[in-house]
Amino acid sequence: MFESYDAPRSLPRVFSGVAADALCVAGGGEGITPLCLLDLPLSVVGDIAVLPFTAYQQVRHGNFHPRCIPEQREEIRARNRREVEAALELCRKDAEKGISNCGSMSAPDGTVLVRLDGGAPCP
């Protein structure tokens, strides 16, 4: 989930196989969709078989969340840094036009209030 920008930020544990197949079918992709469609009924059967366990896990631990892959941390930090810098540049341009809508990113005196180091490697 973490590697894809358009993937959901969490996935329920209950019927997670069906949910993953539904995402696969909805996301499309040549050659992948037929396999997802083939797997869908098998996932329904499997998810029903483990429903008591996954229901317990859902209540106890909540949804699945994306994992950060160590090899991608620097790439993720760099992407976060670029996004913050682009937002700050937009704020500066707006400030030049007299628009002040970036109070959470920069102080009125121009002091940056957000982290420029890229922040946490994983959202």
Domain ranges in the chain are 1-67, 72-123
> What pLDDT was estimated at residue 67?
67
Assess contact for 54 and 16: CB atoms under 8 A: yes
Give first-to-last CA distance, the chain, whole Å: 12
> What pLDDT was estimated at residue 47?
96
> What pLDDT was estimated at residue 2?
47
**pTM to 2 decimal places:** 0.51
Q: What's the gap between Cα 60 and its chain centre?
A: 22
| pLDDT, block means (10 residues), the chain with 123 residues | 60 90 76 83 96 93 75 76 84 79 71 67 55
